[in-house]
């Protein structure tokens, strides 16, 4: 997803001030409602066990209440770990709750990382990229700060996430009520474009179940997952419209009497490429080829110039 002119209406453009406010407000209720997010974080740690890396500096992007940061600190006790989040309220809560404290807490946007070039050995981001308006800009920032040979490990939600809720709202009005999510293939293509190496992507689908749609919407609010797009309805949602959505959601009720909420979880990782070693006989070009001057080629092959 690339940037568009500021004067062009983008219904799914995120209001970062609203994103920040939503997560500030959700800091104290997040852990109780974020069962799936914590499970995904646990699976990230399992995947890291299979990757041989001993990072000196780790940054947890979108660290939230600090659960994953604590696990990373315990997993890599000799590393310097920094928790980074857009919402200062989340960082304040994490500072009080974390069992294993990181070296520092950084309040910042993934699309504008306040980190030096090639300063981080490993970036970990758990269900955060969906809160970026410009995916490629966010990934370029990640690529910029990772050291050669460093790792980017991330998860995010795919387009099928909350599809039942999106469909239910679509019959009520033409506004956005569910945020947009990036497709796995778009993320993979973006990783290649920005120059990260050996990207690996896979998808896992989860279905959470609820007694009623109201409880689902309450849980979304508790984890800060408000609709913060430009195309959201402005003003309060009327009771009549809300009842229509609840009624429309009933078409998805399962045989066991529960309502499903689908989450498409995308896992991915990629590496910052190591610099290529090119000896003094050639110049490395942008396309990866080596340009060798004819004079040096003659010297290398022992060819003598014949005077005319």
CB 66 within 8 A of CB 98: yes
Residues 291 and 280 sit within 8 Å (Cβ to Cβ): no
Q: State the Rg of the chain over Cα.
A: 24
Query: Residue 7 has what pLDDT?
Result: 42
pLDDT for the residue 297: 46
Q: What is the pLDDT of residue 284?
A: 47
pLDDT at 175: 67
Q: Which residues of the chain have pLDDT under 50?
A: 1-9, 231, 235-236, 278-281, 284, 297, 300-301, 303-308
Which residue ranges form the domains of the chain, and what is each CATH number?
16-275 (3.40.50.150)
pLDDT of residue 2: 42
pLDDT, residue 15, reads: 85
What are the phi and psi torsion angles at 123 (to 5°)?
Answer: -110, 130
The pLDDT value given to residue 307: 45
Q: How far apart are the first and last CA of the chain?
A: 60
| Packed helices 16-26 and 88-97: angle between N→C axes, nearest 10 degrees | 30
- Residue 16 φ then ψ, to 5°: -65, -30
Q: What is the pLDDT of residue 295?
A: 54
pLDDT value, residue 277: 57
Write the CB contacts of 283 (distance below 8 Å, at least 6 apart in sequence).
290, 291
Q: Which helix (H) or strand (E) holds 299?
A: helix 294-301
Q: Are 13 and 19 in contact (CB under 8 A)?
A: no
Q: What angle do CA 43, 49, 50 make, to 5 degrees?
A: 105
């Amino acid at each position: 997803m690339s940037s568009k002119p500021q004067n062009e209406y983008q219904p799914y453009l995120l209001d970062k001030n609203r994103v920040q406010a939503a997560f500030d407000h959700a800091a104290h209720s997040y852990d109780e409602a974020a069962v799936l997010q914590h499970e995904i974080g646990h699976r990230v740690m399992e995947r890291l066990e299979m990757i041989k890396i001993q990072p000196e500096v780790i940054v947890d992007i979108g660290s939230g209440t600090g659960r994953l940061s604590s696990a990373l600190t315990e997993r890599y006790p000799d590393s310097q770990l920094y928790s980074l989040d857009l919402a200062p309220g989340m960082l304040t809560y994490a500072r009080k709750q974390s069992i294993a404290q990181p070296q520092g807490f950084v309040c910042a946007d993934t699309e504008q990382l306040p980190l030096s070039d090639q300063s981080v050995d490993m970036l970990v981001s758990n269900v955060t990229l969906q809160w970026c308006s410009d995916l490629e800009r966010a990934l370029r920032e990640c690529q910029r700060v990772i050291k050669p040979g460093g790792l980017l490990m991330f998860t995010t939600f795919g387009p099928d996430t909350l599809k039942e809720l999106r469909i239910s709202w679509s019959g009520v009005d033409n506004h956005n009520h569910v945020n947009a999510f990036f497709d796995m293939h778009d993320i993979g293509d973006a990783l290649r474009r920005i120059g990260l190496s050996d990207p690996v992507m896979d998808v896992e689908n989860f279905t959470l179940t609820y007694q009623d749609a109201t409880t689902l919407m309450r849980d979304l609010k508790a984890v800060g997952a408000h609709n913060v797009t430009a195309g959201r309805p402005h003003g309060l949602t009327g009771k009549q419209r809300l009842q229509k959505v609840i009624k429309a959601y009933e078409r998805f009720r399962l045989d066991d009497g529960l309502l499903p909420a689908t989450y498409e979880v995308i896992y991915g990782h990629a590496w910052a490429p190591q610099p290529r070693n090119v000896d003094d006989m050639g110049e490395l070009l942008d396309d990866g080829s080596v340009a060798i001057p004819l004079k040096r080629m003659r010297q290398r092959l022992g060819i003598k110039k014949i005077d005319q």
